[in-house]
């Protein structure tokens, strides 16, 4: 890199060519005031507070937009500079309500900081001031434009981070104002309440509503932690005052999100303070819950679990870990199930989402996780998205994809729905639901026919190519076009583009996995990437974006029936022996039950007792009536939960859980990044979840005496080579560590399969197209597709007052054509019926769904969508086919 030498305030400095004078000064510890400059945004040079003197330049140039040149002589603090800065500040405060005494930003306000520095206490200018109304009509952001200095950072943050382009300047001169399109308020705009604008605002113009009046910035303790919602694993700071969380703020050094968060992460945390939180153990007596002491609860649990184990055998017990709880909690749950209850019947809700990923990628590559890190999106030249509504389900990854596309990366989106990114894509392949295998076989067919496959990669790194080749030979473009609905020439273009672009990555989520062919869909994606050698390098790969904060971790920790932590198989004698020795008990060698089997067995009366940590299968699992019946039949059920959920209602004992702000531990995000979760406030029920589990298990005669989650992790990692190098001390570093990390001097692994696949050679498989289990017919003419919406998450968000203000009921999506035929208007109520159940909902008319498709989320207790979804499951991973079932619709009187 070329270096440029210059002189700043009498000191020589050398900086890379292209650096700004402001940045050059920073390298020698000279802080030039700035209002509109932000290192993470483009520079516009608008506020002029950063002016400096430069020899040979007549004016005072703005240092943030002045590039260094060889031999430049800069002075940052001359009388002329000070005079100009002072004048600018005087001008600013002439039009600023100086109500600093009550201003929320006090303590972090840049205007105050610089006025203090330059001794500006009042303005010599009198006259007009702005008198805008305070904007209070949304639950999260308070806008006081009287305090806006028009630095434009919010405008740039909105455009350059989420890419929503909501804000802009309107009017001119003194009347200039930053507002949403058409001078509207946030709530009237398409704002997604990511809060990026609030995060960058240097003054009190934009503040977090939830934090108003809750504490001065200097009295607030900031505790860095990891988001409890989706699997992106954003980091942020819990703002704590007097032992209570009062808000969330973001920080530029957070990986992978910087200062961007989504509405859930930034504003949805308030569920932890909900007055519906459970605080004491509850024991059901005569059909009614009564408060109980911990001792009573533990005694009852210990007695009943032991009785049932003795009477019906170990396999009459099943446990669910939780994709929302820490790695340490999940480790304890599986250890408890295996070592104490003596069964491998432990699973968690990955079953309902990415179990096909874990299974499928393990078969193809040998390890079932995202091959590449999130940051690889930034440098990708092509992004192939299939079955992912990324900007809603993984907003921060979605935004990075959007920005990469805006910088020139090609974007291909495969989705039956017109999602935001489908709209923006270079190619949107609107396939018919459930034809993913056909599509990928078709693309592979073209790639082979045109000789665009990576023969060297296939030859050296993979096996079984012939079988695959033979299968896809049958998938001619014409046949595939007929099957998927994608035009033949689009198939050609996309196939060529993907095959010939060097840095091309595949990204998917549940649109791939939640099918009866889920595991095979996943392996198809793996085939495509292997065919073109798009693996084992930066910015390529097969990248499943995991749904929940710690679903990766819960799988990694062995809260699944076939493996211990680190994917060590329970039926591998060597592994079992190791764990028997470590845990000091004999262990069962047969693979345990997956969730759907557990509920089948419960319905059959063979599963008698369950412990469920932080999961709500009644709401989230398909065919909920079947789940309810199973729970009813159990002899003894313990639910360890934050709230009295639909599932907890069935419990005999409910243990109150601690929320993510009340626990130490770790979450592992979708890119295998292990990150710290930190206790910011005392656990509401008095015990962190790991403590509760330890005490419960100890009561059953198996002592668990850990002092803290760090010790739990240490034990876990000592038994799993891929984590051996990770410990709580190392996790203090920025961004945590990505497994595999086999030793303490190992830096972690950003991308997998660099030299060889985890299983050795990548396994090609010939996979045939199979239609979904239930397709629309004469009686049930509509296809129901389901998923997540931006504002909500599988659980807990229902208890966030703010999020519920934004969205508190289901609006099933109906296409304009169908709405016309059924005489429906947005807001009308309908009944959706399937062969399994029925549910009522409001509707919205939208072109996002094609004719013949209804789309619903599963978030709202009043509309329990999973009463109608299919009970057909993936044959390998037993994940439900949430994405396709047949329904009919009846209009209801409003």
Partner 1 sequence: MPQELRIVLRNVDKIDALKIDDYIDANGYKPLEKARSMPQADLIQEIRQSGLRGRGGAGFNTGQKLAFTYSAAGDQKYIVCNADEGEPGTYKDRVIMQSDPHAVIEGMAICGYAVGATKGYIYCRGEYPYVAEILNAAIAQAKEKDVLGEFDVEVCLGAGAFVCGEETALIESIEGKRGEPRCKPPYPPVSGLWGKPTVVANVETLANLPQIVDRGSGWFAAIGAAGYPGTKVLTLTGDVVNRKYIEVPTNTTIKEVIYEFGGGIAGGRKFQAVQIGGNSGGIIPESLLGTQIAFDAMAAVGATLGSGAVFVMDETRDLRDVVCRMAKFFEHESCGKCIPCREGTMRMFDLCEKVGQGKGTAADLALLQEIGETMAVACFCGLGQAAPTPVLTAIKHFDLLAGKGCA
Question: Which residues bind to ligand SF4, rule: CB under 6 A?
Answer: 148-154, 157-158, 162, 164, 166-167, 178, 191-197, 200-203, 205-206
206/349 with CB nearer ligand FES: 206
Question: Cβ atoms within 10 A of the Cβ of 367, count?
Answer: 19
Residue 293 three-state SS: coil
Q: Note whether 126 binds partner 1 by CB under 8 A.
A: yes
Least Å from the CB of residue 805 to ligand SF4: 15
The least CB distance from residue 28 to partner 1, in Å, is 24
Residue 64 or residue 192: which is nearer to ligand FES going by CB?
64
A 10 A CB-CB count for 181 gives 13
Q: Select the residue interacting with ligand FES from 6, 49, 790, 833 (CB under 6 A).
A: 49
Taking the least distance from each CB to ligand SF4, the nearer of 176 and 862 is 176
- The DSSP code for 586 is -
How near is the Cβ of 875 to partner 1 at its closest, in Å? 54
**Is 51 or 374 the residue whose CB approaches ligand FES more closely?**
51
- 48 near ligand FES, rule: CB under 6 A: yes
Q: What is the DSSP letter of 340?
A: I
**Which does residue 175 touch among partner 1, ligand SF4, ligand FES, none (CB within 5 to 8 A, set by kind)?**
partner 1
44/801 with CB nearer ligand SF4: 44
Residue 62 in contact with ligand FES, rule: CB under 6 A: yes
Using the minimum distance from each CB to ligand SF4, give the nearer residue, 192 or 320.
192
Pick what 37 binds: ligand FES, partner 1, ligand SF4, none; C-beta below 5 to 8 Å, kind-dependent.
ligand FES
How would you list the strands of the sheet with 317-320, edge to edge?
288-291, 282-285, 653-656, 636-641, 609-613, 317-320, 346-347
| Helix-helix angle 465-473:436-449, to 10 degrees | 100
Q: If we measure between CA atoms, which residue out of 425, 388, 402 comes closest to residue 522?
A: 388
Q: Does 485 engage in binding with ligand FES (CB under 6 A)?
A: no
**In whole angstroms, how close is the CB of 18 to partner 1 at the nearest point?**
11
* β-pair type (11-16, 3-8): antiparallel
Whether the CB-CB separation of 623 and 837 falls below 8 Å is answered with yes
Interface pattern 861-890 for ligand FES (x via CB under 6 A): ------------------------------
Closer residue to ligand SF4 in complex, CB, 188/809: 188
Pick the piece of the chain touching ligand FES (CB under 6 A) from 6-14, 44-52, 115-123, 270-278: 44-52
Distance separating alpha carbons of residues 503 and 295, to the nearest angstrom: 58
CB of residue 690 to partner 1, shortest distance in Å: 53
User: In b/e form, how buried is each residue of 628-643, taking b as 16+ CB within 10 angstroms?
Assistant: bebbebbbbbbbbbbb
| Residue closer to ligand SF4 (CB basis): 193 or 564 | 193
| CB distance 609 to 635 below 8 Å | yes
Site size with ligand FES, rule: CB under 6 A = 12
CB of 24 to partner 1, least distance (A): 16
Residue 125 contacts partner 1 per CB under 8 A: yes
Q: How far is the CB of 49 from ligand FES (least distance, A)?
A: 6
Closer to partner 1 by Cβ: residue 87 or 770: 87
Note whether 806 and 800 are within 8 A (CB).
Answer: no
Cβ proximity to ligand SF4: between 154 and 767 the closer is 154
What does the alpha-carbon distance between residue 764 and residue 531 come to, in Å, rounded to a whole number? 9
Contact between 874 and 518 (Cβ < 8 Å): yes
281 binds, among ligand FES, partner 1, ligand SF4, none (CB under 5 to 8 A by kind): none
- Interface with partner 1 (CB under 8 A), residue total 40
Minimum CB–partner distance for residue 198 and ligand SF4 (Å): 7
Q: Out of 10, 29, 119, 128, point to the residue binding partner 1 (CB under 8 A).
A: 128
Backbone angles phi, psi at 503, to 5 degrees: -100, 85
When binding is defined by CB under 6 A, the residue of 19, 50, 227, 587 that contacts ligand FES is: 50
Tokens of 32: 């030039």
Cβ neighbours of residue 466 closer than 8 Å, sequence gap 6 or more: none
Taking the least distance from each CB to ligand SF4, the nearer of 99 and 768 is 99
Cα angle value 780/785/791 (rounded, 5°): 140
| Contact of 869 with 834, CB cutoff 8 Å | yes
Report the nearest approach of ligand FES to the CB of residue 44 (Å). Answer: 7
C-beta separation of 839 from 863 below 8 A: yes
Choose the stretch contacting ligand FES; rule: CB under 6 A; options: 43-51, 241-249, 572-580, 676-684: 43-51
115 touches ligand FES by CB under 6 A? no
CA-CA distance, 414 to 430, in Å (whole number)? 6
Residue 424: half-sphere exposure toward Cβ, Cα within 13 Å: 24
> At closest approach, how far in Å is the CB of 790 from ligand SF4?
11
Distance, C-alpha 280 to centroid of its chain: 30
Considering the complex, state which of residue 65 and residue 644 has its C-beta at the smaller distance from partner 1: 65
Please state, as a whole number, how many other Cβ atoms lie within 10 Å of the Cβ of residue 427.
18
Min dist CB 197 to ligand SF4, Å, is 3
What H or E segment, with its residue span, contains residue 641? strand 636-641
Residue 585: other Cβ atoms inside 10 A? 14
Q: By C-beta, is 15 or 612 nearer to partner 1?
A: 15
Q: Which two tokens stand for residue 602?
A: 């419960």
Under 8 Å CB-to-CB from 192, ≥6 apart: which residues?
Answer: 162, 164, 262, 263, 395, 790
Residue 156 engages ligand FES in binding (rule: CB under 6 A): no
45 binds ligand FES (CB under 6 A): yes
- Quick one: tokens of 495? 């196939």
Helices (H), 562-662: 573-583, 595-604, 617-620, 624-633
Which residues between 1 and 40 bind ligand FES (CB under 6 A)?
A: 34-37
**Shortest Cβ 664–partner 1 spacing (Å):** 46
- Residue 346 as a binder of ligand FES (CB under 6 A): the answer is no
* Residues 54 to 83 in contact with partner 1, rule: CB under 8 A: 58-60, 62, 65, 67, 80, 83
Q: What would the two tokens of residue 786 be?
A: 């389901």
DSSP 3-state of 668? strand
Report residue 304 as tokens.
């009943």
Query: How would you classify residue 166: left for phi > 0, otherwise alpha for psi between -120 and 50, otherwise beta?
Result: alpha
Residue among 150, 90, 197, 213 at smallest CA distance from 98: 90
- Smallest separation, CB 54 to partner 1 (Å): 12
Nearer to partner 1, 94 or 302 (CB): 94
Q: Per-residue string for binding with partner 1, 89-108, x by CB under 8 A?
A: --xx-xx-------------
Select 24 or 47, whichever has its Cβ closest to ligand FES: 47
Any contact of residue 182 with partner 1 (CB under 8 A)?
no
Task: Please report, as residue ranges, which positions from 531 to 570 form the binding site for partner 1 (by CB under 8 A).
Answer: none
Does residue 281 contact residue 656 with C-beta atoms inside 8 Å? yes
CA-to-CA distance for 436 and 426, rounded, in angstroms? Answer: 19
Q: Does 107 bind ligand FES (CB under 6 A)?
A: no
**Residue 87 binding: pick among ligand FES, ligand SF4, partner 1, none (C-beta 5-8 Å cut-off by kind):** partner 1
By the criterion CB under 8 A, which residues form the site for partner 1?
A: 35, 43-49, 51, 58-60, 62, 65, 67, 80, 83-84, 87-88, 91-92, 94-95, 124-128, 149-150, 152, 168-169, 171-176
* Residues in contact with ligand FES by the rule CB under 6 A: 34-37, 45-50, 62, 64
């Amino acid at each position: 890199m070329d270096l440029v030498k210059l002189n700043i305030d009498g000191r020589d400095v050398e900086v890379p060519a292209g650096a700004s004078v402001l940045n050059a000064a920073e390298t020698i510890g000279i802080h030039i005031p700035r209002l509109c400059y932000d290192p993470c945004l483009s520079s516009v040079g608008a506020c002029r507070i950063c002016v400096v003197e430069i020899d040979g330049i007549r004016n005072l140039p703005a240092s943030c937009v002045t590039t260094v040149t060889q031999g430049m002589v800069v002075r940052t603090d001359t009388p002329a500079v000070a005079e100009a800065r002072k004048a600018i500040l005087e001008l600013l405060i002439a039009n600023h309500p100086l109500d600093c005494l009550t201003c929320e930003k006090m303590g972090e306000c840049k205007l105050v900081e610089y006025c203090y520095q330059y001794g500006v206490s009042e303005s010599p200018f009198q006259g007009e001031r702005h008198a805008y109304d305070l904007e209070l009509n949304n639950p999260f952001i308070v806008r006081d434009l009287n305090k806006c200095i028009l630095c434009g950072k919010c405008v740039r943050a909105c455009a350059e981070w989420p890419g929503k382009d909501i804000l802009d300047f309107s009017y001119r001169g003194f009347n200039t104002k930053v507002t949403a399109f058409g001078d509207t308020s946030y709530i009237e705009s398409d704002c997604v309440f990511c809060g990026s604008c609030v995060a960058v605002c240097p003054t009190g113009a934009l503040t977090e509503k939830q934090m108003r009046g809750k504490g001065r910035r200097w009295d607030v303790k900031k505790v860095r932690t990891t988001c409890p919602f989706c699997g992106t694993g954003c980091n942020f700071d819990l703002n704590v005052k007097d032992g209570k969380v009062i808000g969330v703020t973001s920080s530029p050094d957070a990986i992978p999100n910087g200062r961007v968060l989504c509405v859930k992460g930034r504003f949805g945390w308030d569920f932890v303070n909900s007055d519906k939180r459970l605080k004491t153990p509850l024991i059901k007596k005569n059909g009614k819950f009564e408060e109980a002491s911990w001792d009573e609860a533990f005694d009852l649990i210990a007695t009943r679990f032991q009785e049932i184990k003795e009477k019906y055998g170990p396999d009459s017990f099943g446990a669910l870990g939780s994709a929302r709880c820490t790695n340490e909690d999940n480790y304890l749950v599986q250890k408890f199930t295996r070592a104490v209850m003596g069964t491998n019947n432990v699973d968690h809700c990955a079953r309902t989402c990415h179990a096909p990923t874990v299974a499928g990628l393990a078969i193809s590559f040998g390890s079932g996780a995202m091959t590449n890190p999130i940051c690889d999106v930034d440098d990708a030249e092509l992004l192939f998205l299939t079955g992912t509504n990324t900007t809603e389900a993984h907003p921060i990854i979605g935004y990075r994809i959007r920005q990469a596309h805006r910088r020139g990366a090609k974007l291909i989106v495969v989705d039956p729905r017109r999602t935001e990114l489908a709209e923006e894509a270079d190619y949107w392949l609107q396939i018919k639901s459930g034809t993913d295998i056909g599509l990928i076989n078709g693309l592979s067919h073209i790639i082979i026919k045109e000789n665009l496959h990576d023969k060297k990669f296939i030859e050296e790194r993979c096996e079984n190519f012939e079988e695959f080749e033979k299968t896809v030979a049958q998938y001619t473009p014409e046949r595939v076009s007929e099957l998927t609905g994608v035009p033949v020439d689009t198939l050609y273009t996309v196939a060529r583009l993907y095959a010939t672009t060097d840095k091309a990555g595949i990204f998917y989520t549940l649109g791939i996995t939640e099918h009866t062919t889920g595991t095979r869909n996943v392996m198809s994606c793996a085939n495509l990437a292997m065919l073109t050698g798009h693996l084992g390098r930066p910015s390529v790969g097969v990248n499943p974006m995991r749904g929940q904060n710690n679903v990766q971790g819960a799988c990694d920790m062995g809260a699944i029936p076939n493996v211990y932590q680190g994917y060590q198989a329970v039926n591998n004698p060597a592994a079992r022996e190791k764990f028997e020795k470590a845990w000091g008990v004999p262990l069962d060698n047969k693979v345990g039950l997956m969730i759907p089997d557990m509920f089948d067995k419960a319905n059959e009366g063979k599963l008698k007792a369950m412990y469920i940590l932080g999961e709500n299968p009644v709401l989230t699992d398909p065919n909920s009536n079947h789940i309810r019946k199973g729970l009813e039949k159990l002899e003894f059920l313990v639910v360890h939960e934050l709230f009295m959920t639909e599932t907890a209602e069935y419990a005999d004992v409910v243990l109150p859980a601690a929320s993510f702000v009340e626990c130490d531990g770790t979450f592992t995000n979708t890119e295998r990044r292990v990150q710290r979760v930190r206790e910011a406030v005392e656990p509401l029920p008095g015990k962190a979840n790991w403590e509760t589990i330890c005490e419960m298990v100890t009561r059953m005669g198996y002592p668990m005496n850990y002092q803290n989650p760090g010790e739990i992790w240490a034990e876990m990692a000592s038994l799993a080579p891929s984590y051996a190098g990770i410990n709580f001390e190392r996790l203090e570093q920025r961004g945590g560590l990505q497994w595999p990390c086999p030793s303490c001097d190992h830096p972690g692994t950003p991308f997998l399969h660099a030299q060889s696949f985890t299983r050795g050679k990548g396994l090609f498989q010939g996979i045939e197209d199979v239609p979904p289990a239930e397709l629309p017919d004469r009686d049930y003419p509509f296809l129901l597709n389901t998923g997540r919406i931006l504002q909500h998450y599988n659980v807990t968000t229902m208890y966030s007052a703010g999020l519920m203000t934004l969205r508190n009921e289901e609006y099933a999506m109906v296409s304009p054509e169908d709405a016309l035929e059924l005489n429906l208007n947005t807001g009308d109520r309908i009944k959706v019926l399937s062969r399994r159940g029925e549910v009522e909902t409001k509707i919205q008319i939208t072109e996002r769904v094609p004719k013949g498709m209804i789309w619903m989320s599963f978030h709202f207790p009043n509309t329990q969508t999973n009463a109608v979804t299919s009970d057909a499951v993936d044959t390998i991973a037993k994940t439900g086919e949430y994405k396709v079932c047949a329904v009919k619709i009846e209009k209801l009187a409003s």
